[in-house]
Amino acid sequence: MEYDYEKLKSAGRVSKDALLYARTVIKPGRRLIDAAEQIEKFIADKGCKHAFPVNLSTNEQAAHYTPEFDDARIIGEKDVIKVDLGARKDTYLTDCAVTVCLDSEYSSLVDASEKALENAISMVKAGRKVTEIGAEIEKTAKQSGFKVIRNLGGHGISQEDLHANVFIPNFANGDNTALEEGSVIAIEPFITTGIGSVTDGSFLQIFQLASDNTPRSTDAREAQAIIEREFSTYPFAMRWMIKQMGQEFRARKAVAELITIGNLDTFPVLVEKGNGMVAQSEKTLIVTKDACEIVT
């Protein structure tokens, strides 16, 4: 089947608009859960499904923080929040991010991530080696006095798969894989004041269907059916499951059983190892012969 770039671009327009909208709802004093749900509603109201739950990772958190059910966390006056989101049109996915900086102390960090993304995009073309893109990202970060996060990076995007085909590093990792014309990629510099690496935190709210082993309990079988029907193989949030099942205890117990039997992959929050501040910028692109087309 021929790849439908128009559906990808349609999802891209919604994603781009959602990032602009996100800047209007990320305000000090608001609950993080309210901001996340407003952004997700914006995407749905534009006729797209979610490629994954909206991530609102704060300060030293680099990725994978989506608010939990009835999350009490309040946006602080000096928070640095990574808004990472994606829209889905049928099986066509986009991935993009901006950092909303509520503390002017870290505006140069955010500027560095945006400049690194801009410089990386300028290098994209068919045949470009991914290590060369990574080298440009790290050079830009160093020129600004910061470090890249080395164990995070960009990625290829295929139909139904948000992380496919190719890894695009944030430093020169020696990978000479060349970008292919017509391929879809996401470039996402993560820049930090810390040591340049992330580790798994204890907060876990994002899951993805991995297998279809038969659960023992009625609740887990119900949860499995909901996931297959509502979320398919795309990442989902615990709060989405709680709303579907109607009771928090049942949903959490069911998800725990599905993890135990290997039916779910888990995505814990990623935290900078040195507790450094983190900024992220990301766009989805189509690789062309001599450059690229920005989708988001």
Active site residue 163: yes
Half-sphere exposure of 73 (CA within 13 A, CB side): 19
Active site residue 180: no
Instruction: Characterize 233-245 residue by residue with b for buried, 16 or more Cβ atoms within 10 angstroms of its Cβ, and e for exposed.
Output: ebbbbbbbbbebb
Active site residue 155: yes
Active site residue 228: no
Instruction: Characterize 117-156 residue by residue with b for buried, 16 or more Cβ atoms within 10 angstroms of its Cβ, and e for exposed.
Output: bebbbebbebebbbbebbbbbbebbeebebbbbbebbbbb
Active site residue 282: yes
Distance CA 141, CA 135 (A): 10
Q: Which of 155, 219, 257, 272 is labelled catalytic?
A: 155
Single-letter amino acid code for the residue at 14:
V
Q: Which of 188, 219, 257, 272 is labelled catalytic?
A: 188
Q: What kind and span of H or E run contains 181?
A: none
Distance CA 278, CA 268 (A): 17
Q: Which of 90, 160, 163, 265 is labelled catalytic?
A: 163
Active site residue 64: no
Q: Which of 40, 71, 95, 257 is labelled catalytic?
A: 95
Q: Which of 40, 84, 136, 219 is labelled catalytic?
A: 84
Residues annotated as part of the active site: 84, 95, 155, 163, 188, 282
